Chains A and B, each alone.
Chain A
Amino acid sequence: MNKAEQTRARVEAGLKRRYAAERRFRAYGLGAVLLGLAFVVLLFSTLVSQGWSAFRQAYVTLDVQYDAAIIDPEGTRDTATLSTADYAALVRASLKARFPEAQSRQETKALYALVSSSAAQAVQARILGDPSRIGGHERLTFLANDRVDQLLKGRIDRNLDEDSRSLTDQQVGWIDALAADGALSLHFNKGFFTQGDSREPEQAGVWGAVVGSLFTLGVTLLLSFPIGVSAAIYLEEFARRGKWTDLIEVNINNLAAVPSIVFGLLGLAVFLNFFGMPRSAPLVGGIVLTLLTLPTIIIASRAALKAVPPSIREAALGMGASRIQMVMHHVFPLAMPGILTGTIIGMARALGETAPLLMIGMVAFIVDVPKGLSDPATVLPVQVYLWADSAERAFVERTSAAILVLLAFLIVMNAAAVYLRNRFERRW
């Protein structure tokens, strides 16, 4: 056997082993991907199956008598009287008219509980909108109480013993009667997407948290992107390598690993206690989350800047560009896709952050949708936390639905990032 044949024989002997190793690796990889996918599917299917029903809500239609004796006994029609009238009594009266068999105090109380407390406000709005309606009557649609809603959705088991379910047999009978008339049915739950939080599950909406998240993330993006990118550009393109830059680098990397609650405590101590900024405000939340996302953005931006070939820098400098021109005209645009990726990772983390916001009071129960950066607000993950902690059965589906909204928020953000990245992407 000559040398060449020997070599060939050895190569061939080893081939089988090499291919086997490759096949094994592919199998592991595929397994890992499938496992990951399985978990994602599991997560989504539980969330959707639990949360989907929250997008529909039970509504009751009742015939309401605008009784002048209750609304405006003196007939003055002045706004002060009209806005303080006992509208709940009108709703009660119309329920009573529908089911006259409810006689005892206990029975009437159970009957009135079928309609959400927001019904009175709905009647008030009709009257204030047009006081000439007083004396007439109208069919109005109200939110049903959350337990009615749950029964319609089959989440309260009607076959259970009366004592172990939250609705009495009599209430179930009324509900069935209303449903049979077509006066009680499930519709799209608009309120969930337009209202703030509430103690009453049927009135609770996610919009307050969405707006809070938008404001908070807006502040975070506006602060962390320019600060993070400038810091990265300075460290990467201008600072001299040395002890100080090494120290800064180590510290930034450490900062990225600090538990987020620590940033919350810092925010509490510095922004609230020392600077006296408002509690529960998206402004403070945004600043705290900026501290949290900065290391991520700086690290990712530095990596992106480092990946720009040095020949581009030499070319620009060799043409007589100043350093800042070199960076702004050439290096930064080329690093932009990587910087955006880092920013979006940071923002996604900020969107999902709960712990530091608890520390600065964004966990408070807030009904009003925030209108500005210093209004009290909460954010989506905190809303999820609050609802997950609530006792009412109806909050379970709302928790899942809020998570779905959070995920949708995330998907929109990521899609925007992908779009921007593709716009900036250039090949060289």
Chain B
Amino acid sequence: MNTANPPVPENCSTVGVVTVENAVLSARGVDVYYGEKRAIKDVSVDIARNQVLAMIGPSGCGKSTFLRCLNRMNDTIEGCRVTGSITLEGQDIYDRSQDVVPLRARIGMVFQKPNPFPKSIYENVAYGPRIHGLAADRVELDEIVHTSLQRAGLWDEVKDRLTQPGTGLSGGQQQRLCIARTIAVNPEIILMDEPCSALDPIATARIEDLIDELREQYAIAIVTHSMQQAARVSQRTAYFHLGDLIEVGETDRIFTNPRHKLTEDYITGRFG
């Protein structure tokens, strides 16, 4: 396993330390264009094992865009172009030889809006293991579904209605179902785009607990609009502004002692 960090470009203007010791995913000098429009400008940052990286910033600054680059979900957007390099354990994920199917199995994604498949709860969770051939038989599959739902904190609520449609759950339950679905394929990294934006405080707290728990096994990157949430769940925080990565650092440090003027304005509520 190659864990040596790729070098950070000389002209990187980000304040703070963008690299970490045990990085799994490293972005270096990443630019993203939607047609002519440059939505992400020269971003370099590492995502570490067993750690949560929070991405904050005003609306439209490119958080989702950057997150979607990390498992190549941007490939599906017509006219979207990514330059620079993103390496997963030393392997460039934008390399020609990189197959996106196994990549997305290794880097799971939870979307801003809960989007369960219009199939049964069981089928929702079993889908990933099925297409990737992770379970040898029905018993094993049942086991995967059970543990995934359990870990997503949903098992007790749905264990009697596994055959009912996943779309019939409440918003918060649907989001946890999507998380269960993602962890069912055992990804190494989980990307979450505002997973709690549509949830009440109780469901939010459950998901935050879950993130904390998941961190023990996975590397996590989460986009959030809630500064409190970033402070609660993350160890490192990255502040984006109009496509630039302004500042990265330990979450405690960012919130108590921001170095860049823009970061300070944002977290003290003078901006955005």
Contact = CB atoms under 8 A, between A and B. Distances in A.
Nearest to A311: B115
Given A318-B109, A320-B105, A313 B132 contact: no
Given A311-B111, A325-B131, A428-B167, A319 B181 contact: yes
B117 A330 contact: yes
Contacts of A334: 118
Main DSSP-derived SS at the B contact region = helix
A318 B118 contact: no
B185 A320 contact: yes
Contacts of B167: 427-428
Interface in A270-308: none
Given A240-B78, A313-B76, A427-B167, A320 B115 contact: no
A263 to B, nearest CB: 34
B181 to A, nearest CB: 7
B7 interface: no
Contacts of B118: 312, 334, 426-428
B195 interface: no
Contacts of A311: 111, 113, 115
Contact of B131 (A240, A318, A321, A427): A321
Give the interface size bracket for A toward B: 20 to 34
Contacts of A329: 127, 131
B242 to A, nearest CB: 25
Contact of A317 (B73, B165, B178): B73
B117 A315 contact: yes
A316 interface: yes
A321 B131 CA distance: 7
B193 to A, nearest CB: 10
B115 A312 contact: yes
Interface string B53-78: 00000000000000000010100101
A330 B132 CA distance: 16
Interface of A: 240-241, 309, 311-322, 325, 329-330, 334, 426-428
Interface of B: 71, 73, 76, 78, 101-105, 108-109, 111, 113, 115-118, 127-128, 131-132, 165, 167, 178, 181-182, 185
Given A309-B115, A314-B111, A325-B131, 13 more contacts: A241-B78, A312-B118, A318-B73, A318-B182, A319-B105, A319-B127, A319-B128, A319-B182, A319-B185, A320-B102, A320-B132, A321-B127, A427-B118
